[in-house]
Chain A
């Protein structure tokens, strides 16, 4: 008798889990006068839009799912140290972004977008206006810190994907100026070992640390000065130390407050760039000869907290002159050039464009790697 009760309760719980959320959502939709997603998907031929909407409403817009998911994720983290499908938990609680991890560890298929052609096309378009291009692929965290993912990787070793190696080779063969942060970071890690040097990437975030960012800015400045497109210093900058608390983007991405509180923010020591004379914070100059295009690697510390302490400000510090920047989160492959197309004034007086993009964008860049025309020149007939 008792066994049967257990069987019944177990079966009931199982069936409730399967059909309960659907029944409740059906009731909610009816009460609110909305068409149920199931009726919606069956109301015509199941085309792509209808199926996509159905999937979204079943997985994201379901009342029960929305209320239970944070608790499930919290339990998963506390009991299993698992943060779900988009975050890989490495050694010492280092977190990695799954698409970047996949980029480094999985073989590319035939659908890899042709990044090299788009980059070289951009270089050629800029050249017709007398503007040079320098590209700065930022290594994935996984490429620089494979030893935080597996004991098989030696500390300081580099793990470069075949797609990245192929892209860098094609760009260099075409004579494009590429700042190689892979070699720079590998060297920095080797030279710092075994001392406990500051890390080049944040633990809970997909981005570089202030140390990694500053190394990159100095390398780019050195390259620009060597090329001769940037003149003598025009401004005198200095820095002031600022400490900020940054909740990792990989933690925030989960949108679960309990987990975010449990993990806590990361304390980050930044160097804010200010003018030596009056201590005024660094600001871009639209008339500067250097335009920097890029993604959230430019945003961090610069537009995010503490402000004026990111790559753009540190590039200006190393050059001792302001630059101009265009930041497009997650859009360095195509979207940032489309935005440049909408903002023609940004190319005024430019002699060199520095184009930063995240390594994973080589394969996963939003909207791929499209060929994007430059904006019409200001003052020409096709304005």
Chain B
């Protein structure tokens, strides 16, 4: 009787182990398929008037958090690494990202269409390849959370497409 129960328990544990391993494998394969490195994104060249690679310098306290009823853009500060298209007056950029708590691929909505990118979450120090428009006022009318208000930010840019820069 005891031997039968032990064997039953062994079989149960084995089945559970296989089940978990199978789930993990399926999840990994699904993610790998979805996130397989894509060729250079043509959206970057097709959108906005400026294309730039820039490093995200900081995310000010309280600048990015989940909104519920309303949608805002948030100004983030960048240091320019390379300008690919268009002209910039300096090496520091202040860029408005719409609903930055969302992955870029999910940020567009009925009011703000045509934005996107492959960036999933903003992190200080990341290098982004951005397609931009300027000035912000001509491209977005709505709430802008600007922790740099009152500082000499110059022109504010509107992020149309935001990709994590390829190494």
Interface residues of A (CB under 8 A from B): 1, 8, 12, 20, 23-24, 27-34, 48-49, 52-53, 56-57, 60-61, 63, 86, 97, 206, 249-250, 253, 296, 327-331, 335, 338-339, 341-343, 366-367, 370, 372
Contacts and interface: CB of A to CB of B under 8 A. Distances in A.
A13 to B, nearest CB: 11
Interface in B60-89: 61, 64-72
B109 to A, nearest CB: 10
Interface string B121-154: 1011000000000001100011111100100000
Contact of A329 (B25, B32, B61, B70): B70
Interface of B: 5, 12, 16, 20, 23-25, 27-32, 34-35, 59, 61, 64-72, 101, 103, 120-121, 123-124, 136-137, 141-146, 149, 156
Q: Which of A8, A29, A330, A372 has the most CB of B within 10 A?
A: A330
A56 B121 contact: yes
A343 B61 CA distance: 26
A27 B24 contact: yes
Contacts of A249: 69
B121 A52 contact: no
Contact of B28 (A30, A86, A97): A30
A49 B24 contact: no
A372 B146 CA distance: 12
Contacts of A370: 149
Contact of A49 (B20, B27, B68, B124): B124
Contacts of B68: 86, 253
Given A23-B20, A296-B70, A343-B137, A329 B142 contact: yes
Contacts of B34: 32
A31 B145 contact: no
A359 to B, nearest CB: 14
A53 B121 contact: yes
Nearest to B123: A53
B35 A32 contact: yes
Given A53-B121, A328-B142, A328-B143, A27 B66 contact: no
Contact of B143 (A12, A48, A331): A331
A216 to B, nearest CB: 20
Given A49-B61, A52-B65, A330-B72, 15 more contacts: A23-B20, A23-B24, A33-B35, A86-B68, A86-B69, A206-B69, A250-B69, A253-B68, A296-B70, A330-B69, A335-B72, A338-B144, A338-B149, A366-B145, A367-B145
19 contacts: A24-B24, A28-B31, A31-B29, A31-B32, A32-B31, A34-B120, A49-B59, A52-B64, A56-B101, A250-B69, A327-B141, A327-B142, A329-B72, A329-B142, A330-B70, A330-B143, A331-B143, A335-B72, A335-B143
Contacts of A29: 31
Q: Which 10 A-B pairs have the closest CB atoms?
A: A330-B70, A331-B143, A31-B28, A28-B31, A32-B35, A31-B32, A31-B31, A27-B28, A27-B24, A24-B27
Contact of B27 (A63, A97, A338): A63
A205 B70 CA distance: 13
A96 B2 CA distance: 60
Q: Chain B CB within 10 Å — which of A12, A24, A33, A97 has the most?
A: A24
Given A249-B69, A366-B72, A367-B145, A28 B16 contact: no
Contacts of B12: 8
Contacts of B143: 328-331, 335, 366
Contact of A339 (B67, B121, B144): B144
A330 B145 CA distance: 11
A338 B150 CA distance: 9
Contacts of A57: 121
Contacts of A12: 16
B124 A342 contact: no
A144 B103 CA distance: 38
A253 B109 CA distance: 12
A295 B156 CA distance: 22
A61 B32 contact: no
A165 B114 CA distance: 44
A174 B23 CA distance: 66
Contacts of B70: 296, 329-331, 366
B27 A28 contact: yes
A327 B30 CA distance: 43
A296 B67 CA distance: 15
Contacts of B144: 331, 335, 338-339
Contacts of A341: 149
